[in-house]
Amino acid sequence: MQDDKKKIILNALAKATRKLRGEKSQYLLGAEYNISTSLLSTLERGLKDPQLTTLFNLAYAFNIPISEFIKKIECELPKNFTLDD
């Protein structure tokens, strides 16, 4: 995958994660669901490409199915985004 496409996806993940976390602090969310604050911070800044298990853990923390979490990430992508060149 091209680096610019990867950055777009990571930024979409960052936006979706921040929105779903809402007013809850990274520290509190992390403490409740055993997710490190530093991981949450790097994800919310679009700097980390998470493992699949991390995405499942986040979806669980947000009390939504993983499919809904992915849809929320997709909604943050630019219109007509594709991995094709």
User: Over 80: is that where the pLDDT of 8 sits?
Assistant: yes
User: Over 70: is that where the pLDDT of 41 sits?
Assistant: yes
Q: Are 40 and 24 in contact (CB under 8 A)?
A: no
User: Over 90: is that where the pLDDT of 37 sits?
Assistant: yes
Looking at residue 85, its pLDDT comes to 66
**CATH number for position 25:** 1.10.260.40
Residue 84 resides in a domain: no
CA 72 – CA 56 distance, rounded (Å) = 14
Q: What is the mean pLDDT of residues 50-63?
A: 95
Residue 83 resides in a domain: no
Looking at residue 1, its pLDDT comes to 60
Average pLDDT taken over every residue of the chain: 94
Residue 85 resides in a domain: no
Residue 15 resides in a domain: yes
Residue 35 resides in a domain: yes
Looking at residue 79, its pLDDT comes to 92
* Residues 67, 3, 52: CA angle, nearest 5 degrees: 30
Range of the domain at 63: 3-76
